[in-house]
């Protein structure tokens, strides 16, 4: 999943049908079923009404985006002073990265799950604004990919996105792969062209 796919999740996070249904129904305070009014008057504890659904709340705050264009020169200067560049050698390939410590400290890596950087605008999206990088359980997208297939809910927890948003990104990624790969007709035409070229070379020889 690329950074630009994950960067535009703020407008589509509410697409989760569970959260949308809960928002439409409200908290459910004060709603009683048919028999609950009588049991409440008699002092007995009422059973949970079927009309009241348990609301599924977000357990973490949403991601926070820092637009570089909106920062003043003073803010940029202070940030550069607070976080000067370091000369510590970084891993250059996957084999070196696999042997590095976890949680991964290299948050600027494009595979790190703590933040995403938009290469076009330079904006920084912090996926977990309430945590520090060393507090994350999963920090490397490549480590997660090597574990094998996981559910949309698990991906959403790892990336602080909803299940519906993960599904949307999955559909978009599959569509890009489908559009980028040649069709069977194109592959067949290319094979026929190659065979015709080989036959011409044999005839000339």
Q: With bands split at pLDDT 50, 70 and 90, how would you rate the model's confidence at 18?
A: very low
| CA distances for 70 relative to 10, 66, 79, 155, angstroms | 18, 8, 14, 31
What pLDDT digit, counting tens, does each position of 141-187 carry?
A: 999 999 888 999 999 999 999 999 999 999 999 998 888 877 777 77
Lowest-confidence pick of 25-39, 113-127, 144-158, 180-194: 25-39
As a whole number, mean pLDDT of residues 113-117 equals: 92
> What is the residue-wise DSSP string for 57-116?
--SSPPPEEE-GGGS-HHHHHHHHHHS----PPPP-SHHHHHTS-SS---TTSTTBSSEE
* Range with lowest mean pLDDT among 4-8, 112-116, 172-176, 181-185: 4-8
Give the pairing of strands 124-126 and 64-66. antiparallel
> What pLDDT sits at residue 30?
44
Phi-psi region of 160 (alpha: psi -120 to 50; beta: other; left: phi over 0): left
If we measure between CA atoms, which residue out of 139, 114, 117 comes closest to residue 127? 114
Q: Higher confidence at residue 4 or residue 60? A: 60
Taking residue 93's Cβ as centre, other Cβ atoms within 10 Å add up to 7
């Amino acid at each position: 999943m690329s950074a630009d796919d994950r960067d535009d999740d703020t407008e589509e996070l509410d697409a989760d049908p569970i959260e949308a249904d809960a928002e439409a129904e409200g908290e459910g305070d004060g709603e009683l079923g048919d028999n609950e009014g009588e049991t409440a008057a008699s002092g007995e504890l009422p059973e949970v009404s079927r009309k009241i659904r348990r609301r599924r709340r977000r357990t973490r705050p949403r991601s926070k985006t820092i637009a570089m264009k909106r920062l003043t020169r003073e803010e940029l200067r202070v940030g550069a002073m607070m976080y000067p560049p370091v000369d510590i050698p970084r891993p250059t390939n996957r084999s070196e990265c696999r042997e590095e410590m976890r949680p991964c400290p290299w948050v600027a890596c494009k595979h790190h799950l703590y933040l995403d950087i938009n290469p076009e605008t330079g904006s920084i999206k912090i996926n977990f604004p309430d945590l520090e990088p060393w507090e994350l359980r999963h920090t490397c997208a490549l480590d997660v990919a090597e574990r094998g297939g996981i559910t949309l809910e698990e991906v959403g927890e790892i990336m602080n996105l909803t299940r519906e948003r993960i599904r949307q990104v999955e559909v978009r990624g599959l569509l890009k792969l489908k559009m980028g790969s040649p069709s069977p007709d194109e592959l067949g035409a290319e094979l026929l062209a190659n065979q015709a070229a080989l036959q011409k070379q044999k005839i000339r020889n």
